[in-house]
Amino acid sequence: MQAGKNIIYVDTGGTFTDAVVVQPDGIFVVGKASTDVEMLENGFLNAISDAARKMGKSLQEVLAQTAQVGYGTTAGTNMIVSEAPGPKLGLLTTLGIEDRLHIGRLRSAGLPKNIAMHMIASGRPKPLVPRTLIKGVRERIDVKGQVVIPLDEPAARKAIGELLEDGVEGIAVCLLWSFLNNQHEKRIEELILEMAPNVMVSLSSEVAPVIREYPRLNSTVIDLYIGRALRELLKRIEDRLRENGYAHQLLVMQAIGGVAQT
């Protein structure tokens, strides 16, 4: 952190967007603006502008003297829980576990007893990828990360082609034990981009390289589902910050705690 510089954090809410500017002397100023649900970056900049106005400065003057800008938003969560249709996705998995996403896991795990006992009467959440758009590919990595069955590339190409014919906008790839050896996932990514360079791809070995295929699979699908929209939003915010004098990276708050660089 550079001495003598501001720190700014912004939070987007459903109605208002709030900004806090912490000045070098520790005094902070709060700014507020209406949230533009279609263009969240507008509320983001307007909230900082409101704080700048209270400081007797322009937006450009404040950002030029700022060492860190952080952002918190539930835009990704909102996309998942919204009833609005999201991108049409496909999924490639190891042959034999094509139903894993739809089988799920015990949803009552970790819940209080008085809630868990009624889970059987509750509805199952709808998977983000329909079963018709999930394809199995012959390959196998074992628990030591060794290749037991080489990737069947002709079969992989066929599966990819079928998904593309169905009009998918993105393809998630989650293979067994790929977090130990991701060569098959990486090769499938290469095949997808050869056949359709503009299709989004998300690999479980990059998104969630951890044991247990269901949470890894689910995380990969969610990453793909919200990824493009969030990347585009953060890119627009970064561009607007640069245009107005901010010279550092944008930091994004994570649900698991801490921040990540864009």
CATH number of 6-78+231-261: 3.30.420.40
Q: Which of 196, 202, 130, 191 is nearest to 155 (CA)?
A: 191
Q: Choose the weakest-confidence range: 84-93, 114-123, 195-204, 253-262.
A: 114-123
The pTM of this model reads 0.81
Query: What pLDDT was estimated at residue 75?
Result: 87
List, for residues 61-115, the tens digit of each pLDDT value. Answer: 999 999 999 999 988 888 888 767 889 999 999 999 999 999 887 666 667 777 7
Vertex 22, ends 21 and 25: CA angle to 5°? 140
Where along the chain do the CATH 3.40.1360 domains lie? 86-225
What is the C-alpha to C-alpha distance for residues 93 and 138, in angstroms, rounded to an integer?
A: 9
pLDDT above 60: residue 1: no
Where along the chain do the CATH 3.30.420.40 domains lie? 6-78+231-261
86-225, CATH topology level: Dna Topoisomerase Vi A Subunit; Chain: A, domain 2 (3.40.1360)
Question: What's the rounded mean pLDDT across residues 235-239?
Answer: 97
Query: What pLDDT was estimated at residue 107?
Result: 64
Q: Which residue has the higher pLDDT, 118 or 248?
A: 248
pLDDT interval class at 193 (50, 70, 90): very high
